[in-house]
C-alpha cells in the first residue's frame, strides 16, 4: 500500500525515499512534489507551504511537476524553496515565483589562512568588518553611485566592477554567468528603483543577510574539495545578500502592472500573489529584462562587499590580500528565473526555470557550468544558521532529471520573524554564541539577531542529507562560523 502523509486538506503520497507527491486534482495542471524526509515534512505540515506549492501547479505552462526543496517554507504566493520550470514559449513568468529580493544569493571567498591565524583576533576582525561594510536597512554603500553608475551596473554587472578596480579577472570566471546576465534591460527598471539602488551599492541589508568568516570543519569528497580549493581548518568568507531596494522596487513595480494588465490570467489562479505575465507578452519580456538587470546589480553588490573584505583582511593581518589567497570560490543566485533548455516529458523545451530560495545545481559536464568547474560540477553554497554552519555541495547528476537542475538554498525557517522575537532576545543569543561556540556576532539591530537565532532554523544537516541522498547536490565540505556581521 502506498505510504501517505496528511497535512490539512493536502494528502501526499510517497513516490520513493524523500520524494512525496500531491497528485493532480481540480485545476492542477501537473503534480506537485516535495523533496523531504518525514521530519522535514512535519515542519511544513501546519503552515501554508503545501497549499502554496499546490497553487503553483495552476500556472500556465508549468511543466512535469512543481517542486519544493527540502528547506522549503511558506513565502509570498510561491513557497521559498520552490522550483517551477514553466514553458518560455506558451507559459508565463511570475515575479512572486522569483521573490522580492531578485538575485538574493551567496558567494564564498577562499583564504590561505587557518583557524589558528584568526583565533584570538575575532573581535578585532568583526569590528573592522562591521566598520567597513554597511549593514541594516536604508542607504549607504561601499560605493556612492550616480545615475550613470547605476546604468552601467545594471547593464554590465561585474564587468563594471572590474573596470572600476573593484574586481580582478578571476572574480568574473568564478561567478555564475561570469557576473553578467546578457539579457539585462536597464530601461525596463523604473527610475524609482534606480534611485533606491543608487546609494546601496555594496551594502548587506537586513533580515537573513550577513557576512560571515568561517572555518572549514569537514571535507566529504577529497577530490572535489581539492578542486574547489577547500581544506579542513581553512578560513573562508561567506557573503549572503541581494539587490536591496532596487530589486524589491522592481518586483513590486511588475507585480502591480501584471495584476492590472493580465487580470484575465490572474482570474484563473488561486492566489493573487502568483500574478504572472504570459510568455511572449510585452510585460513578460520587460519583467525578464528588468529582473536580469537586477541580477547584475546584486552580483556587483556582493562583489563590492567581497573586495572591501579583502581590504579589511589586508589591514588586520598586515599583508596584501593577494598573498592570502583571497579568491572567489563561487557566487550563485538563489532567487532567480532563467531561460534554460531542459529535457521534459514533452521533449526538449525552453523553460523559465523559477528558483525561489533554490540553488541551481548543474552537474559536471554541463555547458553552463563555468570552465573552472566543468569537471567537478557547479559549487552549490548552502548557508546554515549562525550556530550550525554551512555547506558547500557540488551539482548532482540527478538534478537535471529530478529538479530542473536545482537543490536547496539554506536551512529554511521554522518560525516567522515575529514569533522569533517573542522566543529570543538578541543580546542573549549573541552572548550564548560567543560563550558557547566562540562565534562573534555583531549586528546593527538586536532584533535582527533574535530573528536569526539558530533556533529559528531547521536542521541544515538534515536538509543537506536529503539533497545528497537524492543525488541533486552532493556534499563536499562543511564550515562553521568564526565571526558574523549582519543588519
As annotated, the binding site for GMP includes: 208-212, 334-335, 383-386, 390, 409-412, 486
What angle, 0 to 180 degrees and rounded to 10, lies between the N-to-C axes of helices 244-261 and 191-198? 170
- For DNA, the closer CB: 7 or 429: 429
Cβ proximity of 184 and 103 under 8 Å: no
Three-class secondary structure of residue 394 per DSSP = strand
Q: Which one of the spans 46-54, 89-97, 201-209, 419-427 is the region binding DNA (CB under 7 A)?
A: 201-209
Look at the chain and count its residues.
487
Helices (H), 233-281: 244-261, 263-267
Exactly one of 73, 248, 307, 409 is catalytic; name it. Answer: 409
Identify the CA nearest to 471 among candidates 410, 412, 407. 407
- For DNA, the closer CB: 376 or 448: 448
Q: What is the 8-class DSSP label of residue 457? A: B
End-to-end, the C-alpha distance of the chain in Å comes to 50
| Among positions 137, 266, 314, 364, the unique one binding DNA when judged by CB under 7 A | 137
> What phi, psi does 256 have (nearest 5°)?
-65, -45
State the minimum distance, in angstroms, from the CB of residue 227 to DNA.
31
The overall longest dimension of the chain from CA atoms, in Å, is 66
360 contributes a contact to DNA by CB under 7 A: no
Q: Which one of the spans 35-43, 242-250, 339-347, 432-440 is the region binding DNA (CB under 7 A)?
A: 242-250
User: Which residues pair with residue 21 across a beta bridge?
Assistant: 13, 33
- For DNA, the closer CB: 63 or 249: 249
Binding mask 58-87 for DNA (x = CB under 7 A): ------------------x-----------
| Among positions 111, 249, 250, 376, the unique one binding DNA when judged by CB under 7 A | 249
Residue the block writes with cell 500574478: 275
| Among positions 52, 63, 208, 359, the unique one binding DNA when judged by CB under 7 A | 208
207 contributes a contact to DNA by CB under 7 A: yes
Cβ proximity of 106 and 383 under 8 Å: yes
406 contributes a contact to DNA by CB under 7 A: no
| Among positions 81, 245, 473, 481, the unique one binding DNA when judged by CB under 7 A | 245
For 31-83, the three-class secondary structure string (H helix, E strand, C coil) is CEEEECCHHHHHCCCCCCHHHHHHHHCCCCCECCCEEEEEEEECCCCCCEEEE
- For DNA, the closer CB: 284 or 443: 443
> What phi, psi does 72 have (nearest 5°)?
-60, 150
For the question of residue 409 being annotated catalytic, the response is yes
State the minimum distance, in angstroms, from the CB of residue 447 to DNA.
8
How many chain residues bind DNA (CB under 7 A)? 23
Residue the block writes with cell 484563473: 268
- For DNA, the closer CB: 118 or 189: 189
Q: Which one of the spans 148-156, 158-166, 202-210, 227-235 is the region binding DNA (CB under 7 A)?
A: 202-210
- For DNA, the closer CB: 79 or 207: 207
| Among positions 244, 302, 354, 478, the unique one binding DNA when judged by CB under 7 A | 244
State the minimum distance, in angstroms, from the CB of residue 72 to DNA.
14
Binding mask 427-466 for DNA (x = CB under 7 A): ------------------------x---------------
- Separation between Cα atoms, residue 374 and residue 364, nearest integer Å: 5
206 contributes a contact to DNA by CB under 7 A: yes
Annotated binding-site positions = 101, 208-212, 240, 334-335, 383-386, 390, 409-412, 486
- Separation between Cα atoms, residue 201 and residue 299, nearest integer Å: 10
- Separation between Cα atoms, residue 440 and residue 447, nearest integer Å: 16
For the segment 90-129, give every residue that binds DNA (CB under 7 A). 100-101, 104
Three-class secondary structure of residue 348 per DSSP = strand
State the minimum distance, in angstroms, from the CB of residue 417 to DNA.
7
The three-point CA angle 99-180-375 to 5° equals 95
Q: What is the 8-class DSSP label of residue 172? A: H
Cβ proximity of 403 and 434 under 8 Å: no
| Among positions 73, 107, 196, 356, the unique one binding DNA when judged by CB under 7 A | 196
| Among positions 242, 289, 389, 412, the unique one binding DNA when judged by CB under 7 A | 242
Identify the CA nearest to 463 among candidates 397, 411, 415, 404. 411
364 contributes a contact to DNA by CB under 7 A: no
Q: Given the rule CB under 7 A, which residues bind DNA? A: 76, 100-101, 104, 137-138, 192, 195-196, 200, 205-209, 241-242, 244-245, 248-249, 451, 487
Instruction: Name the residues annotated as catalytic.
Output: 409
Amino acid at each position: 500500500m502506498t505510504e501517505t502523509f496528511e497535512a490539512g486538506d493536502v494528502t501526499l503520497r510517497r513516490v520513493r525515499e524523500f520524494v512525496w507527491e500531491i497528485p493532480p486534482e481540480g485545476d492542477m495542471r501537473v503534480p506537485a512534489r516535495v523533496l523531504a524526509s518525514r521530519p522535514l515534512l512535519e515542519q511544513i505540515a501546519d503552515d501554508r507551504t503545501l497549499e502554496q506549492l499546490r497553487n503553483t501547479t495552476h500556472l500556465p505552462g508549468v511543466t512535469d511537476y512543481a517542486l519544493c526543496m527540502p528547506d522549503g517554507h511558506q513565502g509570498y504566493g510561491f513557497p521559498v524553496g520552490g522550483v517551477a520550470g514553466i514553458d518560455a514559449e506558451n507559459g508565463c513568468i511570475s515575479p512572486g515565483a522569483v521573490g522580492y529580493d531578485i538575485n538574493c544569493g551567496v558567494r564564498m571567498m577562499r583564504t590561505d589562512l587557518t583557524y589558528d591565524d584568526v583565533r584570538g583576533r575575532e573581535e578585532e576582525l568583526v569590528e573592522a568588518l562591521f566598520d567597513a561594510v554597511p549593514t541594516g536597512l536604508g542607504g549607504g554603500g561601499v560605493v556612492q553611485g550616480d545615475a550613470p553608475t547605476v546604468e552601467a551596473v545594471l547593464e554590465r554587472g561585474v564587468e563594471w566592477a572590474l573596470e572600476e578596480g573593484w574586481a580582478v579577472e578571476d572574480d568574473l570566471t568564478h561567478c555564475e554567468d561570469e557576473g553578467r546576465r546578457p539579457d539585462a534591460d536597464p530601461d525596463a527598471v523604473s527610475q524609482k528603483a534606480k534611485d533606491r539602488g543608487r546609494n546601496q551599492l555594496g551594502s548587506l541589508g537586513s533580515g537573513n543577510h550577513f557576512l560571515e568568516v568561517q572555518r572549514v570543519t569537514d571535507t566529504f569528497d577529497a577530490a572535489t574539495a581539492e578542486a574547489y580549493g577547500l581544506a579542513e581548518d581553512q578560513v573562508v568568507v561567506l557573503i549572503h545578500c541581494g539587490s536591496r531596494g532596487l530589486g524589491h522596487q522592481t518586483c513590486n513595480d511588475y507585480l502591480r502592472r501584471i495584476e492590472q494588465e493580465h487580470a484575465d490570467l490572474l482570474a484563473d489562479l488561486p492566489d493573487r500573489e502568483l500574478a504572472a505575465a504570459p510568455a511572449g507578452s510585452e510585460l513578460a519580456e520587460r519583467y525578464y529584462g528588468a529582473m536580469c538587470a537586477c541580477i547584475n546589480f546584486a552580483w556587483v553588490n556582493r562583489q563590492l562587499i567581497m573586495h572591501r573584505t579583502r581590504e579589511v583582511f589586508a589591514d588586520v593581518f598586515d599583508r596584501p590580500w593577494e598573498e592570502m589567497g583571497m579568491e572567489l570560490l563561487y557566487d550563485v543566485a538563489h532567487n532567480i528565473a532563467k531561460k534554460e533548455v531542459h529535457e521534459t516529458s514533452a521533449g526538449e523545451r525552453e523553460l523559465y526555470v523559477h528558483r525561489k530560495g533554490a540553488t541551481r545545481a548543474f552537474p559536471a559536464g554541463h555547458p553552463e557550468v563555468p570552465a573552472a568547474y566543468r569537471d567537478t560540477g557547479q559549487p552549490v553554497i548552502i548557508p546554515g544558521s549562525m550556530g550550525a554552519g554551512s555547506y558547500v555541495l557540488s551539482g548532482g547528476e540527478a538534478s537535471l532529471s529530478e529538479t530542473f537542475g536545482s537543490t536547496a538554498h539554506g536551512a529554511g525557517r521554522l518560525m516567522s520573524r515575529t514569533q522569533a522575537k517573542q522566543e529570543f532576545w538578541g543580546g542573549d543569543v549573541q552572548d550564548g554564541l560567543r560563550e558557547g561556540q566562540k562565534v562573534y556576532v555583531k549586528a546593527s539591530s538586536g532584533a535582527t539577531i533574535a530573528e536569526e537565532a539558530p533556533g529559528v532554523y531547521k536542521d541544515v544537516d538534515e536538509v543537506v542529507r536529503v539533497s545528497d541522498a537524492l543525488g541533486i547536490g552532493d556534499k563536499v565540505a562543511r564550515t562553521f562560523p568564526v565571526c558574523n556581521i549582519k543588519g
